[in-house]
Amino acid sequence: MPEMPVVHPDKAALSAAVGARLLTAILDAQAERGVAQLVLTGGSMGAASLAALRTQPGASAIDWARVDLWWGDERVLPGGDPERNEVQAREALIDHVPVDPARVHVMAPAPVGATADAEQAASDYAAELGRAGYGTGDAPFFDVVMLGVGPDGHVASLFPGHPQQQAAGLVVAVHDSPKPPPTRVSLTFEALRNTRQVWFLVSGNDKAEAVRLGLDGADPERSSAAQVRGREATCWLVDAAAAGVTG
């Protein structure tokens, strides 16, 4: 039986709901395991959700010294470029809360005006995961992985039918992205699945077919989203347009 999405009226309502879910997930993780491990997603939906978390009633209860922030992917662009997922997350959340800088695990970091080497960045990020304890136990490492879904069904920078879908290890360099910029760094399916919960955050009627294919468990040639599931829960959090609701 296909999974059922949680449908919100519009993007604003969706981002507010995701912010509330994030607050609960962080507090639960800190109460149960001490530290909350989150994987962030980019795009307008990801940024809006992080901004909504910051303004949630009760957000002051978060111990930001015990939150690790990771990224599912990053665009290999100069440091400070507004199209970088890191920059969007800083503007929406990170620059406004007392998170420990050592717990902000930037992917493909680069100075302003320069870009990282994608292969080296992928290797460095896998090593950083290892230093943080990834792979040292049987329990899922991440608490929540948040993923946007493109109209073509891609998640992170893993595009349907592209060879990076079969990448081994935890992090892969991407050089042939059909969506600009062409060079990126991404967590692999293996890494994205090592989580308690996966949340797909999807807004807009151009995503309705991608949502349907993801919910139906389509093959990798048609959907990368369908290949990622959480160990405890997989949530499709969508607005009415992405759910194909009209009228």
Domain coordinates in residue numbering, the chain? 6-239
Residue 225 CA, distance from chain mean position: 12
User: Model-level pTM?
Assistant: 0.96
**Per-residue pLDDT, 245:** 82
**Per-residue pLDDT, 246:** 66
**Mean pLDDT value across the chain:** 96
Is pLDDT of 77 > 80?
A: yes
Residues 6+ apart with CB under 8 A from 14: 8, 45, 201, 203, 237, 238, 239
Is pLDDT of 67 > 80?
A: yes
DSSP 36-85: EEEEE--HHHHHHHHHHHHTSTTGGG--GGGEEEEESEEE---BT-TTSH
**Per-residue pLDDT, 247:** 54
Is pLDDT of 235 > 80?
A: yes
Residues 6+ apart with CB under 8 A from 84: 74, 75, 77
Kindly report, residue by residue over 175-200, the tens digit of the pLDDT: 999 999 999 999 999 999 999 999 99
Amino acid (one-letter) located at 65: A
Please, what sign has the CA dihedral across residues 28, 32, 35, 41?
A: negative
**Per-residue pLDDT, 1:** 43
**Per-residue pLDDT, 215:** 97
Contact 103, 157 (CB under 8 A): no
Q: Among 161, 140, 159, which Cα is nearest to 150's?
A: 159
Residues 6+ apart with CB under 8 A from 169: 126, 188, 190
Contact 156, 122 (CB under 8 A): no
Choices 3.40.50.300, 3.40.50.1360, 3.30.2020.30, 2.40.128.720: CATH for 6-239: 3.40.50.1360
